[in-house]
Structure 1
Amino acid sequence: MAQSYKQKQVVRYYMCDRTNKLTLSMLVNVLLEISGQQSALLNRGEDFVRAMGLSWIIIHYDFEISRLPKAEETVEIETIATEYNKLFTYRDFYVRDKNNEVIITVKTTFALMDLEKRKMARLPEIVIEPYQAEFSKRIRRNVKAQPVEKESASQKVFDVSYFDIDSNNHVNNSRYINWALESLDEAFLSNHTIKKGVISFEKEVKENETVTSYSNTYEEEELITTHHLSANGMTNCTATFVWDRNKKEG
Protein backbone atom coordinates (compact mmCIF):
# COMPACT_ATOMS: atom_id res chain seq x y z
CA MET A 1 0.00 0.00 0.00
CA ALA A 2 1.33 3.44 -0.95
CA GLN A 3 3.01 5.39 1.83
CA SER A 4 1.12 8.47 3.05
CA TYR A 5 2.88 11.43 4.65
CA LYS A 6 1.17 14.29 6.54
CA GLN A 7 2.49 17.59 7.82
CA LYS A 8 0.95 20.68 9.44
CA GLN A 9 1.67 24.01 7.75
CA VAL A 10 1.02 27.57 8.94
CA VAL A 11 0.26 29.91 6.05
CA ARG A 12 2.49 32.94 6.59
CA TYR A 13 1.82 36.45 5.32
CA TYR A 14 4.75 36.30 2.86
CA MET A 15 3.04 33.34 1.18
CA CYS A 16 -0.09 35.37 0.41
CA ASP A 17 -1.25 37.97 -2.08
CA ARG A 18 -2.87 41.34 -1.34
CA THR A 19 -6.16 39.57 -0.50
CA ASN A 20 -4.37 37.56 2.24
CA LYS A 21 -4.89 34.28 0.37
CA LEU A 22 -2.16 31.75 -0.32
CA THR A 23 -0.78 32.25 -3.83
CA LEU A 24 -0.71 29.38 -6.30
CA SER A 25 3.06 29.60 -6.68
CA MET A 26 3.56 29.44 -2.90
CA LEU A 27 1.13 26.53 -2.69
CA VAL A 28 3.29 24.65 -5.17
CA ASN A 29 6.45 25.45 -3.21
CA VAL A 30 4.90 24.16 0.02
CA LEU A 31 3.65 20.97 -1.63
CA LEU A 32 7.08 20.21 -3.05
CA GLU A 33 8.67 20.86 0.33
CA ILE A 34 6.30 18.33 1.92
CA SER A 35 7.04 15.72 -0.74
CA GLY A 36 10.75 16.37 -0.19
CA GLN A 37 10.32 15.74 3.53
CA GLN A 38 8.71 12.39 2.82
CA SER A 39 11.51 11.46 0.44
CA ALA A 40 14.13 12.37 3.05
CA LEU A 41 12.39 10.20 5.68
CA LEU A 42 12.46 7.29 3.22
CA ASN A 43 16.18 7.93 2.54
CA ARG A 44 15.35 8.94 -1.02
CA GLY A 45 16.02 12.66 -0.73
CA GLU A 46 17.64 14.95 -3.26
CA ASP A 47 21.16 13.83 -2.31
CA PHE A 48 20.25 10.21 -3.06
CA VAL A 49 18.97 10.85 -6.58
CA ARG A 50 21.69 13.40 -7.37
CA ALA A 51 24.31 10.77 -6.55
CA MET A 52 22.81 8.85 -9.48
CA GLY A 53 23.13 11.90 -11.74
CA LEU A 54 19.37 12.52 -11.58
CA SER A 55 16.90 15.07 -10.25
CA TRP A 56 13.11 15.18 -9.97
CA ILE A 57 11.17 17.47 -12.31
CA ILE A 58 7.47 18.30 -12.56
CA ILE A 59 5.64 17.54 -15.81
CA HIS A 60 2.03 18.37 -14.93
CA TYR A 61 -0.25 19.81 -12.23
CA ASP A 62 -4.02 19.36 -11.95
CA PHE A 63 -5.68 21.55 -9.28
CA GLU A 64 -9.11 21.40 -7.61
CA ILE A 65 -9.58 24.27 -5.15
CA SER A 66 -12.69 24.87 -3.03
CA ARG A 67 -10.88 27.75 -1.32
CA LEU A 68 -7.35 28.99 -0.73
CA PRO A 69 -6.25 29.21 2.91
CA LYS A 70 -5.64 32.65 4.43
CA ALA A 71 -2.66 34.14 6.23
CA GLU A 72 -1.97 32.57 9.66
CA GLU A 73 -4.34 29.68 8.97
CA THR A 74 -3.00 26.23 9.88
CA VAL A 75 -3.65 23.45 7.39
CA GLU A 76 -2.65 19.82 7.14
CA ILE A 77 -1.06 18.59 3.92
CA GLU A 78 -1.07 14.93 2.96
CA THR A 79 0.86 13.47 0.04
CA ILE A 80 0.84 9.99 -1.50
CA ALA A 81 2.92 8.66 -4.40
CA THR A 82 0.15 6.55 -5.88
CA GLU A 83 1.42 4.96 -9.09
CA TYR A 84 4.40 4.81 -11.43
CA ASN A 85 5.54 3.44 -14.77
CA LYS A 86 8.90 3.36 -16.53
CA LEU A 87 8.98 7.14 -17.07
CA PHE A 88 6.58 8.87 -14.68
CA THR A 89 5.39 8.73 -11.10
CA TYR A 90 2.08 10.19 -9.97
CA ARG A 91 1.75 11.95 -6.63
CA ASP A 92 -1.43 13.32 -5.03
CA PHE A 93 -1.68 16.11 -2.45
CA TYR A 94 -4.60 16.95 -0.14
CA VAL A 95 -4.82 20.17 1.85
CA ARG A 96 -7.22 20.02 4.82
CA ASP A 97 -8.48 22.79 7.06
CA LYS A 98 -8.96 22.70 10.86
CA ASN A 99 -12.26 20.85 10.36
CA ASN A 100 -10.44 18.11 8.42
CA GLU A 101 -12.22 19.12 5.22
CA VAL A 102 -10.25 18.85 1.96
CA ILE A 103 -10.01 22.37 0.51
CA ILE A 104 -7.39 21.67 -2.17
CA THR A 105 -6.55 18.57 -4.19
CA VAL A 106 -3.52 18.54 -6.49
CA LYS A 107 -2.57 15.66 -8.77
CA THR A 108 0.95 15.80 -10.13
CA THR A 109 3.15 13.98 -12.62
CA PHE A 110 6.86 13.71 -11.77
CA ALA A 111 9.77 12.47 -13.85
CA LEU A 112 13.49 12.09 -13.34
CA MET A 113 15.90 14.19 -15.40
CA ASP A 114 19.41 13.10 -16.32
CA LEU A 115 21.40 16.14 -15.17
CA GLU A 116 24.15 15.65 -17.74
CA LYS A 117 22.00 14.88 -20.80
CA ARG A 118 19.17 17.25 -19.69
CA LYS A 119 16.68 14.57 -20.74
CA MET A 120 14.13 12.42 -18.93
CA ALA A 121 15.51 9.17 -17.53
CA ARG A 122 13.85 5.85 -16.73
CA LEU A 123 12.76 5.47 -13.10
CA PRO A 124 15.13 3.11 -11.26
CA GLU A 125 13.33 0.64 -9.01
CA ILE A 126 15.73 1.47 -6.17
CA VAL A 127 14.42 5.06 -6.15
CA ILE A 128 10.71 4.20 -6.25
CA GLU A 129 10.50 1.07 -4.05
CA PRO A 130 10.26 2.74 -0.56
CA TYR A 131 7.12 4.74 -1.55
CA GLN A 132 5.23 1.46 -2.17
CA ALA A 133 3.44 2.99 -5.15
CA GLU A 134 1.65 0.67 -7.55
CA PHE A 135 3.40 -0.16 -10.83
CA SER A 136 1.35 0.20 -14.00
CA LYS A 137 2.44 -0.11 -17.60
CA ARG A 138 -0.03 2.57 -18.64
CA ILE A 139 0.97 6.20 -19.05
CA ARG A 140 -1.79 8.53 -17.91
CA ARG A 141 -3.23 11.01 -20.36
CA ASN A 142 -3.17 14.26 -18.44
CA VAL A 143 -5.80 16.89 -19.16
CA LYS A 144 -4.34 19.32 -21.69
CA ALA A 145 -4.49 23.09 -21.40
CA GLN A 146 -6.71 24.86 -23.90
CA PRO A 147 -4.88 26.66 -26.73
CA VAL A 148 -4.16 30.39 -26.68
CA GLU A 149 -5.20 32.64 -29.56
CA LYS A 150 -2.05 34.76 -29.73
CA GLU A 151 -3.56 37.33 -32.11
CA SER A 152 -6.07 38.44 -29.45
CA ALA A 153 -4.03 37.55 -26.35
CA SER A 154 -2.76 39.81 -23.62
CA GLN A 155 0.99 39.47 -23.30
CA LYS A 156 3.86 40.36 -21.04
CA VAL A 157 7.61 39.83 -21.44
CA PHE A 158 9.99 38.63 -18.72
CA ASP A 159 13.78 38.41 -18.73
CA VAL A 160 15.06 35.31 -16.95
CA SER A 161 17.45 36.38 -14.20
CA TYR A 162 19.94 34.67 -11.88
CA PHE A 163 17.43 34.28 -9.03
CA ASP A 164 14.89 32.54 -11.29
CA ILE A 165 17.21 29.54 -11.58
CA ASP A 166 17.01 26.64 -9.12
CA SER A 167 19.46 23.89 -8.15
CA ASN A 168 18.59 21.96 -11.33
CA ASN A 169 20.01 24.90 -13.33
CA HIS A 170 16.67 25.77 -14.88
CA VAL A 171 13.76 28.01 -13.96
CA ASN A 172 11.88 26.93 -10.85
CA ASN A 173 8.37 25.82 -11.82
CA SER A 174 6.72 28.30 -9.43
CA ARG A 175 8.14 31.11 -11.58
CA TYR A 176 6.25 29.78 -14.61
CA ILE A 177 3.02 30.06 -12.62
CA ASN A 178 3.70 33.68 -11.70
CA TRP A 179 4.66 34.56 -15.28
CA ALA A 180 1.45 33.00 -16.56
CA LEU A 181 -0.77 34.82 -14.07
CA GLU A 182 1.02 38.16 -14.35
CA SER A 183 -0.22 38.52 -17.92
CA LEU A 184 -3.65 39.13 -16.33
CA ASP A 185 -4.39 42.62 -15.04
CA GLU A 186 -4.44 43.62 -11.36
CA ALA A 187 -8.22 44.17 -11.24
CA PHE A 188 -8.88 40.64 -12.51
CA LEU A 189 -6.44 39.03 -10.06
CA SER A 190 -7.76 41.05 -7.10
CA ASN A 191 -11.37 40.12 -7.77
CA HIS A 192 -11.10 36.46 -8.77
CA THR A 193 -9.76 33.21 -7.29
CA ILE A 194 -8.72 30.05 -9.11
CA LYS A 195 -11.02 27.10 -8.45
CA LYS A 196 -9.38 24.59 -10.78
CA GLY A 197 -6.68 24.42 -13.39
CA VAL A 198 -4.03 22.44 -15.24
CA ILE A 199 -0.40 23.33 -15.92
CA SER A 200 1.94 21.42 -18.25
CA PHE A 201 5.69 22.01 -18.50
CA GLU A 202 6.99 21.32 -21.98
CA LYS A 203 10.57 22.61 -22.18
CA GLU A 204 12.90 24.15 -19.62
CA VAL A 205 13.68 27.87 -19.66
CA LYS A 206 17.29 28.88 -19.08
CA GLU A 207 19.05 31.89 -17.70
CA ASN A 208 19.29 34.99 -19.93
CA GLU A 209 16.39 33.88 -22.11
CA THR A 210 13.34 36.10 -22.64
CA VAL A 211 9.92 34.62 -21.93
CA THR A 212 6.69 35.91 -23.47
CA SER A 213 3.53 35.17 -21.50
CA TYR A 214 0.27 35.10 -23.51
CA SER A 215 -3.24 34.79 -22.08
CA ASN A 216 -6.85 34.79 -23.26
CA THR A 217 -9.94 35.27 -21.11
CA TYR A 218 -13.26 33.61 -21.93
CA GLU A 219 -16.60 33.69 -20.16
CA GLU A 220 -19.23 31.19 -21.23
CA GLU A 221 -20.57 28.76 -18.65
CA GLU A 222 -17.45 29.45 -16.59
CA LEU A 223 -14.79 32.16 -16.44
CA ILE A 224 -11.65 30.69 -18.02
CA THR A 225 -8.14 31.93 -18.76
CA THR A 226 -5.71 30.12 -21.04
CA HIS A 227 -1.94 30.67 -20.93
CA HIS A 228 1.10 30.04 -23.09
CA LEU A 229 4.74 30.74 -22.17
CA SER A 230 7.37 30.71 -24.89
CA ALA A 231 11.06 31.53 -25.33
CA ASN A 232 13.07 31.41 -28.55
CA GLY A 233 10.00 30.31 -30.47
CA MET A 234 9.53 27.19 -28.31
CA THR A 235 6.55 26.30 -26.12
CA ASN A 236 7.76 26.10 -22.52
CA CYS A 237 4.56 25.94 -20.50
CA THR A 238 0.79 25.88 -21.09
CA ALA A 239 -2.02 26.33 -18.56
CA THR A 240 -5.77 26.74 -18.21
CA PHE A 241 -7.52 28.09 -15.10
CA VAL A 242 -11.18 28.29 -14.11
CA TRP A 243 -12.04 31.22 -11.83
CA ASP A 244 -14.62 32.25 -9.25
CA ARG A 245 -15.49 35.87 -8.52
CA ASN A 246 -14.55 36.87 -4.98
CA LYS A 247 -17.46 37.49 -2.68
CA LYS A 248 -17.58 40.88 -1.00
CA GLU A 249 -16.92 40.57 2.71
CA GLY A 250 -19.23 42.21 5.20
Structure 2
Amino acid sequence: MSGKIYEKEHQIKYYECDTTQKMTISMLLNVMLHVSGEQSYLLGVGDRVLAEKGLTWIILQYEVKIERMPVFYESIKITTQATSYNKLFCYRSFKVYDTQGNLCVTVNSTFALMDVQERKMVRVPAEIVAPYETDFSKKLIRTPKPEKVNEEKKTSKDYQVRYLDIDSNRHVNNSKYIEWAMDTLDLEFLTTHEIETMTIKFEKEVHYGQLIHSEISSMKNQDEATITAHRISTEDVTNFEASIVWKATV
Protein backbone atom coordinates (compact mmCIF):
# COMPACT_ATOMS: atom_id res chain seq x y z
CA MET A 1 0.00 0.00 0.00
CA SER A 2 1.39 3.41 -0.96
CA GLY A 3 0.51 7.04 -0.43
CA LYS A 4 1.18 9.66 2.20
CA ILE A 5 -0.74 9.19 5.45
CA TYR A 6 -2.34 12.28 6.95
CA GLU A 7 -3.86 12.41 10.42
CA LYS A 8 -5.99 14.82 12.40
CA GLU A 9 -7.25 14.97 15.99
CA HIS A 10 -10.95 15.66 16.44
CA GLN A 11 -13.14 16.10 19.50
CA ILE A 12 -16.74 14.95 19.06
CA LYS A 13 -19.25 17.80 19.26
CA TYR A 14 -22.78 17.44 20.62
CA TYR A 15 -24.31 18.39 17.26
CA GLU A 16 -22.42 15.50 15.64
CA CYS A 17 -24.24 12.97 17.82
CA ASP A 18 -27.64 11.31 17.92
CA THR A 19 -29.97 10.89 20.91
CA THR A 20 -27.76 8.09 22.30
CA GLN A 21 -24.78 10.51 22.32
CA LYS A 22 -22.95 8.47 19.70
CA MET A 23 -21.53 10.19 16.63
CA THR A 24 -23.76 9.70 13.58
CA ILE A 25 -22.35 7.95 10.53
CA SER A 26 -23.24 10.92 8.31
CA MET A 27 -21.33 13.33 10.55
CA LEU A 28 -18.34 10.99 10.78
CA LEU A 29 -18.13 10.74 6.99
CA ASN A 30 -18.36 14.54 6.75
CA VAL A 31 -15.46 14.94 9.16
CA MET A 32 -13.44 12.33 7.27
CA LEU A 33 -13.97 14.21 4.01
CA HIS A 34 -12.86 17.40 5.70
CA VAL A 35 -9.64 15.68 6.80
CA SER A 36 -8.92 14.38 3.30
CA GLY A 37 -9.68 17.84 1.89
CA GLU A 38 -7.23 19.34 4.36
CA GLN A 39 -4.55 16.93 3.18
CA SER A 40 -5.23 17.91 -0.44
CA TYR A 41 -4.98 21.61 0.43
CA LEU A 42 -1.65 21.14 2.23
CA LEU A 43 -0.31 19.18 -0.76
CA GLY A 44 -1.24 22.02 -3.13
CA VAL A 45 -4.11 20.22 -4.89
CA GLY A 46 -7.10 21.46 -2.90
CA ASP A 47 -10.58 22.37 -4.13
CA ARG A 48 -9.56 25.79 -5.45
CA VAL A 49 -6.83 24.29 -7.61
CA LEU A 50 -9.31 21.77 -9.01
CA ALA A 51 -11.92 24.49 -9.56
CA GLU A 52 -9.45 26.45 -11.69
CA LYS A 53 -9.27 23.38 -13.93
CA GLY A 54 -13.05 23.04 -13.97
CA LEU A 55 -12.92 19.86 -11.88
CA THR A 56 -14.26 18.55 -8.59
CA TRP A 57 -14.04 15.29 -6.68
CA ILE A 58 -17.14 13.09 -6.44
CA ILE A 59 -17.66 10.06 -4.20
CA LEU A 60 -18.83 6.85 -5.81
CA GLN A 61 -18.68 4.25 -3.03
CA TYR A 62 -18.07 3.73 0.67
CA GLU A 63 -17.41 0.49 2.51
CA VAL A 64 -17.72 1.02 6.27
CA LYS A 65 -16.79 -1.28 9.14
CA ILE A 66 -17.53 -0.14 12.70
CA GLU A 67 -16.05 -1.62 15.86
CA ARG A 68 -17.71 1.12 17.89
CA MET A 69 -18.87 4.65 17.19
CA PRO A 70 -17.14 7.53 19.00
CA VAL A 71 -19.23 9.32 21.62
CA PHE A 72 -19.87 12.91 22.66
CA TYR A 73 -16.78 14.84 23.83
CA GLU A 74 -14.45 11.94 23.04
CA SER A 75 -11.19 12.75 21.27
CA ILE A 76 -10.36 10.65 18.24
CA LYS A 77 -7.61 10.48 15.63
CA ILE A 78 -8.60 10.21 11.98
CA THR A 79 -6.03 8.98 9.47
CA THR A 80 -6.43 8.97 5.71
CA GLN A 81 -4.36 7.65 2.84
CA ALA A 82 -4.75 7.67 -0.93
CA THR A 83 -3.97 4.03 -1.65
CA SER A 84 -4.03 3.70 -5.47
CA TYR A 85 -5.54 5.10 -8.65
CA ASN A 86 -6.20 4.25 -12.28
CA LYS A 87 -7.30 6.32 -15.26
CA LEU A 88 -10.79 6.99 -13.83
CA PHE A 89 -10.91 6.04 -10.15
CA CYS A 90 -8.99 6.95 -7.00
CA TYR A 91 -9.09 4.84 -3.86
CA ARG A 92 -8.72 6.24 -0.35
CA SER A 93 -8.88 4.67 3.11
CA PHE A 94 -9.84 6.26 6.41
CA LYS A 95 -9.35 4.96 9.95
CA VAL A 96 -10.57 6.25 13.30
CA TYR A 97 -8.69 5.53 16.55
CA ASP A 98 -9.49 6.36 20.17
CA THR A 99 -6.94 7.82 22.62
CA GLN A 100 -5.81 4.32 23.59
CA GLY A 101 -4.98 3.53 19.98
CA ASN A 102 -7.92 1.17 19.47
CA LEU A 103 -9.33 1.04 15.94
CA CYS A 104 -12.95 2.22 15.99
CA VAL A 105 -13.96 2.68 12.35
CA THR A 106 -12.53 1.75 8.94
CA VAL A 107 -13.82 3.27 5.70
CA ASN A 108 -12.66 2.40 2.18
CA SER A 109 -13.82 4.79 -0.50
CA THR A 110 -13.81 5.28 -4.27
CA PHE A 111 -13.53 8.76 -5.76
CA ALA A 112 -13.61 10.14 -9.30
CA LEU A 113 -13.05 13.54 -10.90
CA MET A 114 -15.97 15.29 -12.53
CA ASP A 115 -15.99 18.06 -15.12
CA VAL A 116 -18.16 20.69 -13.43
CA GLN A 117 -19.63 22.05 -16.66
CA GLU A 118 -20.20 18.76 -18.48
CA ARG A 119 -21.21 16.89 -15.26
CA LYS A 120 -19.21 13.90 -16.49
CA MET A 121 -16.32 11.89 -15.07
CA VAL A 122 -12.92 12.62 -16.61
CA ARG A 123 -9.54 10.90 -16.65
CA VAL A 124 -7.39 11.53 -13.57
CA PRO A 125 -4.52 13.91 -14.45
CA ALA A 126 -1.15 12.68 -13.18
CA GLU A 127 -0.28 16.11 -11.77
CA ILE A 128 -3.35 16.03 -9.50
CA VAL A 129 -2.48 12.72 -7.83
CA ALA A 130 1.33 12.99 -7.87
CA PRO A 131 1.56 14.89 -4.53
CA TYR A 132 -0.14 11.99 -2.70
CA GLU A 133 2.72 9.66 -3.77
CA THR A 134 0.34 6.82 -4.49
CA ASP A 135 0.71 4.05 -7.07
CA PHE A 136 -0.97 3.81 -10.44
CA SER A 137 -2.64 0.44 -10.96
CA LYS A 138 -4.77 -0.78 -13.85
CA LYS A 139 -6.58 -3.05 -11.41
CA LEU A 140 -10.12 -2.03 -10.50
CA ILE A 141 -10.96 -2.46 -6.83
CA ARG A 142 -14.45 -3.92 -6.64
CA THR A 143 -16.22 -3.18 -3.38
CA PRO A 144 -19.22 -5.29 -2.31
CA LYS A 145 -22.51 -4.29 -3.88
CA PRO A 146 -25.33 -3.19 -1.58
CA GLU A 147 -28.21 -5.58 -1.03
CA LYS A 148 -31.16 -4.81 -3.29
CA VAL A 149 -34.43 -3.53 -1.88
CA ASN A 150 -37.08 -6.26 -1.86
CA GLU A 151 -39.84 -4.87 -4.06
CA GLU A 152 -42.54 -6.92 -2.35
CA LYS A 153 -41.61 -5.91 1.19
CA LYS A 154 -40.45 -2.32 0.79
CA THR A 155 -41.80 0.78 2.49
CA SER A 156 -40.89 4.35 1.61
CA LYS A 157 -40.86 8.01 2.57
CA ASP A 158 -40.78 11.02 0.26
CA TYR A 159 -38.69 14.16 0.68
CA GLN A 160 -38.45 17.43 -1.23
CA VAL A 161 -34.86 18.53 -1.77
CA ARG A 162 -34.25 21.81 0.07
CA TYR A 163 -31.69 24.56 -0.51
CA LEU A 164 -29.69 23.44 2.55
CA ASP A 165 -29.48 19.89 1.19
CA ILE A 166 -27.26 20.94 -1.72
CA ASP A 167 -23.56 21.77 -1.58
CA SER A 168 -21.03 23.76 -3.60
CA ASN A 169 -21.07 21.13 -6.34
CA ARG A 170 -24.71 22.11 -6.97
CA HIS A 171 -26.07 18.70 -6.03
CA VAL A 172 -27.32 17.03 -2.85
CA ASN A 173 -24.57 16.56 -0.27
CA ASN A 174 -23.63 12.91 0.16
CA SER A 175 -24.46 12.89 3.88
CA LYS A 176 -28.10 13.75 3.10
CA TYR A 177 -28.64 10.45 1.28
CA ILE A 178 -27.52 8.57 4.38
CA GLU A 179 -29.84 10.61 6.60
CA TRP A 180 -32.79 10.02 4.27
CA ALA A 181 -32.02 6.30 4.21
CA MET A 182 -31.80 5.96 7.98
CA ASP A 183 -34.91 8.06 8.55
CA THR A 184 -37.00 5.17 7.20
CA LEU A 185 -36.21 3.30 10.44
CA ASP A 186 -38.18 4.06 13.59
CA LEU A 187 -36.86 5.57 16.81
CA GLU A 188 -37.07 2.35 18.81
CA PHE A 189 -34.94 0.44 16.29
CA LEU A 190 -32.34 3.21 15.96
CA THR A 191 -31.92 3.56 19.72
CA THR A 192 -31.52 -0.19 20.27
CA HIS A 193 -29.26 -1.05 17.32
CA GLU A 194 -25.86 0.03 16.03
CA ILE A 195 -24.31 -0.18 12.57
CA GLU A 196 -21.81 -3.00 12.16
CA THR A 197 -21.06 -2.67 8.44
CA MET A 198 -22.41 -0.42 5.71
CA THR A 199 -22.02 -0.53 1.93
CA ILE A 200 -22.91 2.64 0.03
CA LYS A 201 -23.08 3.35 -3.70
CA PHE A 202 -23.84 6.75 -5.22
CA GLU A 203 -25.34 6.44 -8.70
CA LYS A 204 -26.83 9.70 -10.01
CA GLU A 205 -26.90 13.28 -8.80
CA VAL A 206 -29.99 14.73 -7.11
CA HIS A 207 -30.66 18.44 -7.46
CA TYR A 208 -32.56 21.21 -5.72
CA GLY A 209 -36.34 20.92 -5.83
CA GLN A 210 -36.52 17.27 -6.85
CA LEU A 211 -38.82 14.85 -5.05
CA ILE A 212 -36.93 11.81 -3.77
CA HIS A 213 -38.27 8.45 -2.63
CA SER A 214 -36.37 6.76 0.22
CA GLU A 215 -37.19 3.05 0.13
CA ILE A 216 -36.28 0.29 2.59
CA SER A 217 -36.70 -3.43 3.11
CA SER A 218 -35.20 -5.63 5.81
CA MET A 219 -34.20 -9.24 6.35
CA LYS A 220 -32.23 -11.45 8.74
CA ASN A 221 -28.88 -13.03 7.89
CA GLN A 222 -27.69 -16.47 9.01
CA ASP A 223 -26.57 -15.01 12.34
CA GLU A 224 -30.04 -13.49 12.88
CA ALA A 225 -28.64 -9.97 12.51
CA THR A 226 -30.88 -7.42 10.80
CA ILE A 227 -29.87 -6.26 7.33
CA THR A 228 -31.61 -3.25 5.83
CA ALA A 229 -31.49 -2.48 2.11
CA HIS A 230 -31.98 1.12 1.01
CA ARG A 231 -32.64 2.88 -2.27
CA ILE A 232 -33.15 6.55 -3.05
CA SER A 233 -34.71 7.37 -6.39
CA THR A 234 -36.14 10.27 -8.36
CA GLU A 235 -38.96 9.22 -10.68
CA ASP A 236 -37.58 6.05 -12.33
CA VAL A 237 -33.89 6.84 -11.69
CA THR A 238 -31.92 5.10 -8.93
CA ASN A 239 -29.67 7.71 -7.31
CA PHE A 240 -28.32 5.87 -4.27
CA GLU A 241 -28.20 2.37 -2.83
CA ALA A 242 -26.97 1.12 0.52
CA SER A 243 -27.18 -1.87 2.80
CA ILE A 244 -26.54 -1.93 6.55
CA VAL A 245 -25.83 -4.82 8.90
CA TRP A 246 -27.06 -3.94 12.39
CA LYS A 247 -26.22 -5.33 15.82
CA ALA A 248 -28.61 -5.11 18.76
CA THR A 249 -27.42 -3.14 21.79
CA VAL A 250 -30.07 -4.38 24.25
TM-score, length basis structure 2: 0.97
Distance 2:140 2:56 in 1: 20
TM-superposed deviation, 1:149: 1.3
Which whole-Å deviations, capped at 9, do the CAs of 1:115-149 have from their partners, x for residues lacking one? Answer: 00001111000100000111101121121001101
Which whole-Å deviations, capped at 9, do the CAs of 1:71-91 have from their partners, x for residues lacking one? Answer: 000000000000000001000
Distance 1:218 1:54 in 2: 40
Residue 33 (structure 1) aligns with: 34
Letter in structure 2 aligned against 1:167: S
Aligned CA RMSD, in angstroms, stands at 0.8
Distance 1:210 1:13 in 2: 30
Residue 73 (structure 1) aligns with: 74
Q: Once superposed, which parts of structure 1, at least 4 consecutive aligned residues long, lie more than 6 Å away?
A: none
Distance 2:66 2:124 in 1: 30
Letter in structure 2 aligned against 1:245: A
Residue 246 (structure 1) aligns with: 249
TM-superposed deviation, 1:23: 0.3
Distance 2:220 2:164 in 1: 36
The 8 Å contact of residues 20 and 71 in structure 1, kept in 2 or not, is answered as yes
Counting matched residue pairs gives 247
5 Å-filtered alignment, 1:208-227, equals 208-220=209-221, 221=223, 222-227=225-230
Residue 129 (structure 1) aligns with: 130
TM-superposed deviation, 1:192: 0.6
Structure 2 residue matching 1:25: 3-state secondary structure? helix
Letter in structure 2 aligned against 1:72: Y
Structure 1 residue matching 2:9: 3-state secondary structure? strand
Residue 4 (structure 1) aligns with: 5
Letter in structure 2 aligned against 1:226: A
2:232 pairs with 1:229: yes
Residue 183 (structure 1) aligns with: 184
Distance 1:128 1:201 in 2: 22
Residue 98 (structure 1) aligns with: 99
Distance 1:121 1:114 in 2: 6
Structure 2 residue matching 1:217: 3-state secondary structure? strand
Residue 157 (structure 1) aligns with: 158
Which whole-Å deviations, capped at 9, do the CAs of 1:203-250 have from their partners, x for residues lacking one? Answer: 000111111011111123221111011002100000000111114xxx
Name whichever of 195-204 and 138-147 sits farther off. 138-147
Which whole-Å deviations, capped at 9, do the CAs of 1:91-110 have from their partners, x for residues lacking one? Answer: 00010001111110000000
Residue 193 (structure 2) aligns with: 192
Structure 1 residue matching 2:152: 3-state secondary structure? helix
TM-superposed deviation, 1:150: 2.7
Structure 1 residue matching 2:217: 3-state secondary structure? strand
The 8 Å contact of residues 154 and 184 in structure 1, kept in 2 or not, is answered as no
The 8 Å contact of residues 12 and 71 in structure 1, kept in 2 or not, is answered as yes
Distance 1:228 1:69 in 2: 27
Letter in structure 2 aligned against 1:49: L
Distance 1:150 1:211 in 2: 17
Distance 2:48 2:164 in 1: 22
Q: Structure 2: any 5+ residue segments left out of the alignment? A: none
User: Sequence identity of aligned pairs in percent?
Assistant: 43
Distance 2:152 2:115 in 1: 37
TM-superposed deviation, 1:151: 2.8
Residue 204 (structure 1) aligns with: 205
Distance 2:185 2:158 in 1: 12
